[in-house]
């Protein structure tokens, strides 16, 4: 992994070249999916990821490797059976790809186990707290591709990009219950072709990227909260200006 300044000047290389999967290595990574910085700006959390099956933590200032963990805070085991079968016991290792590891304002880490259709919540030391399932009948590429938090102080809601089902799920952050979804498959505005990443800005607006043949970024304007019974799930069609 390479580190640069905002101006594109090279600073350092973190990690050494590796030889494929080794989820217990402290010297190299294996196809990191995403990086997030904690609110103190001192630690970076790596979703490591596409080949390894773990979350890594490194020191932002020095790049030093600090700690790592697998599903449920377990030591990763690359030889363990990580098969995911809906309605059966969940694998004790990440199915993968481990696609996000996002710190919240209250210092919890939310981990996307994409192929396992789940989000696991841990403390910064990897201690497991809870997990929630999202569209648990989803196979193949899985449902939990990326997450973003709402911009209120309590980060009451989580937005989940679900590239397999072409949707964004809105979760209650405390319970991890799915409250609402928007989007459906298609190329028109408000529809999705595999939403891959998601982010929110300071005003609460939502941004999504689409991979494969989607090839675009969409912005969804935050317009406030309304009762769930007053909204329709499906494509978030743009508002048309009226004369």
For 171-235, the three-class secondary structure string (H helix, E strand, C coil) is EECCCCCEEEEECCECCCCCCECCEEEEEECCCCCEEEEECCCCCEEEEECCCCCCCHHHCCCEC
Q: What is the pLDDT of residue 70?
A: 98
Q: Does residue 241 sit within a domain?
A: no
> Mean pLDDT in the chain?
93
128 three-class SS: strand
* Residue 79 domain flag: yes
Contact 163, 196 (CB under 8 A): yes
Name the band, by pLDDT with cuts 50, 70 and 90, for residue 241.
Answer: very low
Q: Is residue 240 part of a domain?
A: no
The reported pTM is 0.94
Q: Please give the residue range of the domain that contains residue 105.
A: 2-230
Query: Residue 240's pLDDT is what?
Result: 53
Tell me if 242 is assigned to some domain.
Answer: no
Q: CATH number, domain at 17?
A: 2.120.10.30
For 56, what's the count of Cα atoms within 13 Å in the CB-facing half-sphere? 29
41 belongs to a structural domain: yes
- Counted domains in the chain: 1
Residue range 17-51, pLDDT digits in tens: 777 899 999 999 999 999 999 999 999 999 998 99
- For the record, the structure tokens of 217 come out as 């970024």
pLDDT value of residue 24: 97
Q: Is residue 235 part of a domain?
A: no
Query: Does 236 map to a domain?
Result: no
pLDDT at 239: 63
SS3 content of the chain, % helix, strand, coil (to 5): 5, 40, 60
- Residue 238 within any structural domain of the chain: no
Q: How confident is the model at residue 157 (pLDDT cuts 50, 70, 90)?
A: very high
């Amino acid at each position: 992994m390479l580190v640069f300044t905002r101006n594109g000047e090279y600073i350092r290389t973190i990690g050494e070249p590796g030889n494929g999967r080794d989820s217990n290595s402290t010297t190299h990574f294996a196809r990191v999916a995403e990086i997030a910085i904690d609110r103190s700006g001192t630690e970076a959390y790596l979703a490591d990821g596409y080949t390894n099956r773990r979350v890594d933590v490194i020191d932002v200032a020095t790049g030093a490797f600090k700690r790592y963990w697998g599903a449920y805070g377990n030591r990763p085991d690359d030889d363990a059976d990580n098969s995911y079968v809906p309605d059966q016991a969940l694998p004790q290792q990440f199915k993968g790809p481990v696609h996000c590891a996002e710190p919240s304002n209250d210092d919890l880490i939310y981990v996307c186990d994409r192929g396992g259709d789940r989000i696991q919540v841990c403390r910064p030391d990897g201690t497991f707290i809870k997990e929630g399932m999202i569209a648990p009948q989803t196979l193949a590429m899985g449902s939990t591709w990326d997450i973003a938090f709402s911009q209120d102080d309590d980060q009451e809601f989580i937005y989940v990009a679900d590239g397999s089902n072409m949707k964004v799920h809105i979760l209650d952050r405390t319970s991890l219950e799915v409250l609402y979804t928007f989007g459906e498959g298609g190329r028109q505005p408000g529809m999705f072709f595999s939403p891959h990443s998601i982010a929110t800005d300071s005003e609460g607006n939502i941004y999504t990227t689409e991979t494969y043949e989607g090839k675009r970024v969409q912005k969804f304007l935050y317009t406030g909260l309304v009762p769930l019974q007053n909204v329709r799930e499906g494509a978030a069609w743009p508002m048309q200006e009226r004369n």
